[in-house]
Amino acid sequence: MIRLSNTLPLIAALMAPLPALSADLDPSDWDAVLEQAQGQTVYWHAWGGSTATNDFITWIGQQVAEQGVTLEHVKLSDTADAVSRVLNEKQAGQDEDSAVDMIWINGPNFAAMKDAGLLYGPFAEQLPNWQYVDTTGKSVQSDFTVATEGYESPWAMAQVVYMYDSADMVPQHSAEAILEWAKANPGRFTYPQPPDFLGSTFLKQTLIELTDNTEVLLRPADQADYAAVTAPLWDYLDALTPVLWRSGSAYPASGPAQLQLMADNEIDLAISFSPGEASTAIANFQLPDTVRTFVLEKGTLGNASYVAIPYNSGSKAGALVVANALLSPQAQARAQDPAILGYGTVLAMDKLSDEDRATFAALDLGIATLSPAELGTALPEPNPSWMTLITDDWTRRYGAGQ
């Protein structure tokens, strides 16, 4: 499987500027966009590891079908696979009719494609439903410290929480407390294996918790003393790994696989990037109703999920229709419903109609979902370079063959 780190040298070789906007497609002329989108098929390359998410994407497909667009979900286990495909097309001179029309993307993948000029745009702030987006209270115009500049459109908010079985333990509100609990309860905690995004998130969250200077993480890693900054993380993991599930000799491959371990009562503690995931899993009978969530006293990471359109998509108008549909109040309320997804909304309630606000207010967020006050302010993501380097370093230290 191709990972992001494998794509970076190729990206560097393809840094020649590319025309981003099609001369005959103006995102602000929505009537023209809708006309051009008629009959187009959009191949949305998106993570396919969750049945609930897949079902939501199917529902979005039903919504855009009413506007003449066919949506095909190309299920990914690694976003870098879609990035690599666009890169390979560019290398082969395929500057039109890409196999990839839209990508669920953020972080290092977005930064790499944006730097290489491989994205269509800017388009996000010209979408009709952008008028409802919360641009002041949520980080929807910056992705892992990289300004989006309209080259990707947000559709969900996420923040790290820890899911725990309240029948077996109490919340542990710091990385050190988690370590001490794990030592006292060996085998009852694990995290997905990096470079799975959730496993890499655990590494970032722990690094932020342990470092004395979080400001350095907002700059590229090559502008810092990487070894000194990350030393506390490796010391922590050296102590934690032997008391993980299966003594750190194996890890769940993904978030859903981690969730299954909790359902099977093999672990009591798991990381999540969705405050509503536990409630959704309880509602779907995937977790016992004793599962609850907590955050760390110093705060937890938060970010937005985005969609972006490759520069060589042959269905740009159709992709714009899909991106706009994801921002509709109807879609956002459906995504926030724990019985559906439990994702946070990117919309501002004071920008919505009374009817739409009432829809959100009526949502039962579930017994395991923390209130916004309990979640606290989300911590900013580090610069993308940190995620790439610590993930590669983790693989060398604790990955295959350990």
In this structure, how many other beta carbons lie within 10 angstroms of the beta carbon of residue 179? 18
d(CA 327, CA 99): 24
Q: What is the pLDDT of residue 107?
A: 86
> In the chain, which residues fall in CATH 3.40.190.10?
4-155+306-365, 159-302+380-398
Q: What is the pLDDT of residue 137?
A: 80
Owner of token pair 């999920």: 305
Q: How far apart, in Å, are the Cα atoms of 205 and each of 97, 109, 214?
A: 39, 19, 11
Q: Which residues contact 184 (CB under 8 A, 6 or more apart)?
A: none
d(CA 269, CA 280): 17
pTM to 2 decimal places: 0.80
Residue 341 has which token pair? Answer: 């997804």
Q: What is the pLDDT of residue 49?
A: 84
| E-only strand ranges, 279-344 | 291-294, 302-308
Residue 32 has which token pair? Answer: 């023209």
Q: Chain centroid to CA 144: how far? A: 11
d(CA 181, CA 158): 26
Q: What is the pLDDT of residue 198?
A: 94
Q: Which residues contact 360 (CB under 8 A, 6 or more apart)?
A: 329, 333, 336, 345, 349, 352
* CA-wise closest residue to 327 among 310, 309, 305: 305
Q: Does domain 159-302+380-398 have CATH number 3.30.420.40?
A: no
| E-only strand ranges, 140-294 | 142-143, 146-147, 153-159, 161-165, 269-272, 291-294
Q: What are phi and psi of 157, to 5 degrees?
A: -105, 145
Q: What is the pLDDT of residue 372?
A: 80
Which residues of the chain fall short of a pLDDT of 70? 1-23, 400-402
Q: Are 36 and 25 in contact (CB under 8 A)?
A: yes
Crossing angle for the helix pair 4-12 and 108-115, to the nearest 10 degrees: 10
pLDDT tens per residue across span 59-104: 999 999 999 999 999 999 889 999 999 999 999 999 999 999 999 9
* CA-wise closest residue to 205 among 226, 233, 185: 233
Count Cβ neighbours within 10 Å for each residue of 289-317 and write b for 16 or more, e otherwise: eebbbbbbeebbbbbbbbbbbbbbbbbbb
d(CA 367, CA 309): 37
d(CA 327, CA 345): 9
d(CA 83, CA 176): 37
Q: What is the pLDDT of residue 400?
A: 58
Q: CA Rg, the chain, in Å?
A: 21
Owner of token pair 């000029």: 117
Q: Are 241 and 398 in contact (CB under 8 A)?
A: yes
Q: Which helix (H) or strand (E) holds 361?
A: helix 354-361
Q: Is the peptide bond before 329 cis (omega within 30 degrees of 0)?
A: no
Q: What is the pLDDT of residue 377?
A: 80
Best CATH choice for the domain 4-155+306-365 from the list 3.60.40.10, 3.40.50.300, 3.40.190.10, 3.60.15.10:
3.40.190.10
Strand 41-47 relative to strand 102-105, pairing:
parallel
